[in-house]
Amino acid sequence: MSNNERTFIAIKPDGVQRGLISSIIGRFENRGFKLVGIKLVQPTESLLREHYDDLQSKPFFPSLLSYMLSGPVLATVWEGKDVVKQGRAILGATNPLQSAPGTIRGDFAIDMGRNVCHGSDSVESANKEIGLWFKKEELVEYKPALFSWIYE
């Protein structure tokens, strides 16, 4: 069985600065998703403008841009069955106060402007975001030893 759906998950500057990287990665690993790309980056303004292209007309965009430029971001790509939808569920609602306990945002965030992480909201946006943040050769193809214990 091939599970080639991929999603882009970024741990934002507040999550990196607060030392939440291992806790967040662990949620995806524990669920059974496969990590196929990871790097710590200081994003450029042009990368962020392209990534958040759909939000540039919003009044909060300048503060979002400033926040995302304030420190390093951990960019990751995860692969697995229904990983885009499931990744969003693991992250919780965009507004942390509406996120259930047990989700990343429900456990680690309070303000929407410091919501710890980003997750693609569709397969199409995942493909776009992965292409913005990663070169094709930075993504790894492999079959985890535990694969048959996760998928039928």
Mean pLDDT across the chain, nearest whole number? 95
Q: Mind listing the pLDDT tens digit for each residue in 129-152? A: 999 999 999 999 999 998 889 988
Active-site positions? Answer: 118
Nearest residue to 43 (alpha-carbon basis) of 19, 76, 74:
74
* Topology at the third CATH level for domain 6-140: Alpha-Beta Plaits (3.30.70)
What is the pLDDT averaged over residues 39-56? 97
Domain ranges of the chain: 6-140
Please tell me the predicted confidence (pLDDT) of residue 1.
44
pLDDT range class, residue 3, cuts 50, 70, 90: low
pTM for this model (two decimals): 0.94
Give the burial class of 123: count Cβ atoms within 10 A of its Cβ; 0-12 exposed, 13-18 middle, 19 or more buried. Answer: middle
Does 94 show up as a binding residue in the annotation? yes
- Average pLDDT of the segment spanning 56-84: 96
pLDDT-derived band at 38 (thresholds 50, 70, 90) equals very high
Q: Is 31 annotated as a binding residue?
A: no
Q: Rounded distance, CA 11 to CA 91, Å?
A: 10
Known binding residue 60? Answer is yes
What percent of the chain stands above pLDDT 70?
Answer: 98
Given a cut of 80, whether residue 122 has pLDDT beyond it is yes
